[in-house]
Structure 1
Amino acid sequence: MARSDTNTSMSRRHFMAGLGSGLTSAILLQPLDLLKTRVQQANHRSFAFHLKQVASSPGRICAFWRGTVPSALRTGFGSALYFTSLNTIRQRISQTSHWAGPGSLNPRFSAPSSSSLPKLSPWANLLAGAVARTFAGLALMPLTVIKVRYESSLYSYGSMLHASRDIYATGGIRGFFSGFGATAIRDAPYAGTYVLIYEFLKKQLSVVATKGSASPQDESHISLKTTQAGVINFTSGVLAGGACSVISNPFDAIKTRIQLEPSSYLNMYQACHKMVSQEGVRSLLDGLVLRMSRKALSSALAWTLYEELMRRAEHGTSPSMRYIQVTEFN
C-alpha cells in the first residue's frame, strides 16, 4: 500500500512539473508558434508579410498572443501527460537489464548526473520518447486542432466554445482529430530522437563540465553544481530540439494544412502530393526557421524547468542541495 502511495505521489509530481514547464514555455513562445502557423498557410506569403500583418493589427500585443489559451492548455497538459507517461515507461524499462543504461541497476551508481530521470540505453530512450509523445498527442489532439485554427488568419473564432462548435458542425468528432496521422509521424520520431540526442548530449556535456573535478580514485562521485546542471540541460535541449525540428518539419507543414483546410487536404498522402505538385518541395519546409527557433527554445525550457522542478520536489531546496552527484559517465 505504501509503495502504491509513493508511486501515486511521484506521478503527481511528474504531472505538476510537466504542467508548469509546458505552460511557461507555451505562453512565452506563443508569438513564434502563431507566426509559424501563418507562414504554413496555403497563401504563399512570407514571414515578413505575416509579421507586419500581425504587428499592424489593433492591439498588436494581444495579436501576437492570439490562441494562447488553447495553446497553453494543449502544451501544458500535453507536457504533463508526456512527462508522466515518459517517466512511467522509463521506470519500467530501467528495471529490465537489457534496456537499462550503464549504472542504472547498480546501487553504487544510482545518483543522477544533470538529471533526475533513470538512465537507459539509446534504443530505450528512443522508444520511450516516441510512445509517450504519441499517447499525449492523441489525448490532446482536439486542443491541437483548436489551437492551430486560432493561430491561423483563416478563422475568426471568438472563443474556444465557438471554435469547438464550428469544428464539430463541419467535421463531426473526426474533425477534432484532423491531421493525427501526420502529427503522430511527426511527433513519434521527433520525441524519440529528441530524448536520445538530449540524453547523449547531457552525458557528454557533464563529462566536459566535471573534467578534472575529482581525483582518479573518486571519479564515481563528482560534485556538479545545480547551476551547471541547468546550463547543461538547457544547452542539450536547444541543440536536440533544433536538430529534430529539421527532420520533422515536412510532417508539421502537412499537418497544419490538413487541420486548417480538411476539405481541401484530405489525408497525409494527398496533402503532401498536392503541396509538392502545386507549390514545390519548398512548401514542406515552410516555417522551418520559426519552428526550429520555437521548438528548440520550448523543448529546452520545458525540459530544464521540468528537471529542476522534479529535483526540487525530490530533494528540497536547501543550500545543501546546491550540488548533485555525477556518477559513471562511461
Structure 2
Amino acid sequence: MPSEKSKQKDRVLVLKTEEMARLDAITMSPLVKSFVAGSFSGTCSTILFQPLDLVKTRLQTTITIPSGGSVGMFAIVGKVVRNERLFGLWKGMTPSIFRCVPGVGLYFSSLHWLKTNFCEGQPGPFDALMLGVVARTITGVTMIPITVIKTRYESGVYSYGSMREAMCSIYRKEGTRGLTCGLIPTLLCDAPFSGLYLMFYTQTKKRVPQRYMEGNMAPPVHFTCGVLAGVMASAVTQPFDVVKTKMQLYPHKFTSFYEAVWYVNKKYGPQGFFKGLVPRMLRRTLMAAMAWTVYEQITKSFGMK
C-alpha cells in the first residue's frame, strides 16, 4: 500500500501537470500569439517613427506664423532640434509606447478574434473594411486616455513631468471628460483609417502573384502593399485627425466636434483640415506597413499561417 506521503507527492505532481497544461494552453492561444506579435510590431514602428508624429502634432498646433506664411515640416524639425535638441523629436515617446504597444497588440488580437468568429476564409473588401473599423474602435475606446496624454506631450503646449502627473493633472482639472476628450474625432479618424487600410491591404495582396508572397520576397511585398494602403487611407481620414488634435489640446475652447470643425474651417479654410498630412501620411503609412510586415512574419513563425 502506498504511504500517505507518496499519495501527497502524486497529488502535487498531478496539480503541477494540470497547471502546466493550463499555462501551455494560454501560451499557445492564437489570441495571445496575435497580441504578442502585434505588441512587438508596435514597439518597433513606434520607436522608429515617433518624430513624424511629433512634427504632425506641432504642425496642427501652429497653423500660421506672424508674417502670414505657413509653417513647414522642416521648419518644425529645425525648431525642435534647436530648442530641445535631437532627442526632442522623440518627446512623447513614453505615452506613445504605452498607447501603441498594447494598442497594436489589442488591435491585432481583436482582428484575429473577429476574423475567426465572423468571417470564413479570406475577407472580401466590405468584410475587411468592417473588421478593421470594429477592431480599431475597440482599441480606440480602450486607449483614449493615453491618446490624450500623448497628444499633449507632443504639442509643447503642456509641460508634464511624467505619465502619472499628466493623468492626475487632467483628471483633477477636467475630470473624466478630459481623459476622453476628442474620442469622437479619434474614432472617426482611426476606425475608418484601419478599415480602409485593411481593405486596401488585403485587396492589394490578392493581386500579387503567389510566388512573390513566399520566401525572401514576402517581407518587401508585404511592406509595399502596406505603403500603398496607408497612403490612400491617410488622405481620406486626415481632416478628422486635425479636429481630434484641436479638441485634445484645447478642451475648454472646443467642447464639441462641430465647434472644432467650424473653427478650423472659418479660420484656416478647407486647407486647414489637411495640415500635417505629409508627416502623418509618412508616419501612419510606414508605421502600419512595418507593423503588418513584422506581424505577418511573427505569426508565420508561430505557425498561425
Please, which of 298, 303, 309 is the counterpart of residue 298 of structure 2? 309
**Alignment check: 8 A CA contact 1:34 1:151 kept:** yes
Q: Distance in 1 between matches of 2:282 and 2:80?
A: 19
For residue 280 of structure 1, report the CA deviation from its aligned partner.
Answer: 1.2
Q: Secondary structure at the match of 2:83?
A: coil
Residue matched to 1:40: 60
Q: Secondary structure at the match of 1:158?
A: coil
For residue 7 of structure 1, report the CA deviation from its aligned partner.
Answer: 9.3
Q: 1:270-318: per-residue Cα shift (whole Å, max 9, x none)?
A: 1000111112111100100111111110000000001111111117xxx
Q: Distance in 2 between matches of 1:270 and 1:77?
A: 32
- Identical positions, percent: 38
Q: Distance in 1 between matches of 2:215 and 2:99?
A: 30
Q: 1:147-189: per-residue Cα shift (whole Å, max 9, x none)?
A: 0000011111111112112211221011111100001111121
Please, which of 103, 108, 113 is the counterpart of residue 88 of structure 1? 113
Please, which of 89, 95, 101 is the counterpart of residue 64 of structure 1? 89
Residue matched to 1:52: 78
Please, which of 254, 264, 267 is the counterpart of residue 253 of structure 2? 264
Residue matched to 1:202: 205
Residue matched to 1:15: 35
* Aligned residue runs from structure 1 range 291-306, under 5 A: 291-306=280-295
Amino acid at match of 1:32: L
Please, which of 235, 238, 241 is the counterpart of residue 230 of structure 2? 241
For residue 198 of structure 1, report the CA deviation from its aligned partner.
Answer: 0.1
Which one has a bigger Cα radius of gyration? 2
Q: Secondary structure at the match of 1:148?
A: helix
**Unpaired segments of 5 or more residues in structure 1?**
95-99, 105-118, 211-223, 316-323, 325-330
Q: 1:32-73: per-residue Cα shift (whole Å, max 9, x none)?
A: 000000000155251233212101024x12201111011011
Residue matched to 1:282: 271
Coordinate RMSD, CA, aligned: 2.0
Q: Distance in 1 between matches of 2:260 and 2:225?
A: 34
Q: Distance in 2 between matches of 1:152 and 1:206?
A: 44
For residue 8 of structure 1, report the CA deviation from its aligned partner.
Answer: 6.2
Are residues 1:188 and 2:214 paired?
no
For residue 17 of structure 1, report the CA deviation from its aligned partner.
Answer: 0.4
Which aligned segments of 4 or more residues in structure 1 are displaced greater than 4 angstroms? 1-4
Residue matched to 1:231: 220
Q: 1:313 to 1:52 in 2, by over 3 A?
A: same
* Aligned residue runs from structure 1 range 126-145, under 5 A: 126-145=129-148
Q: Secondary structure at the match of 2:94?
A: helix
Please, which of 145, 148, 151 is the counterpart of residue 148 of structure 1? 151
Q: Secondary structure at the match of 2:253?
A: coil
Amino acid at match of 1:174: R
More helix by share: 2
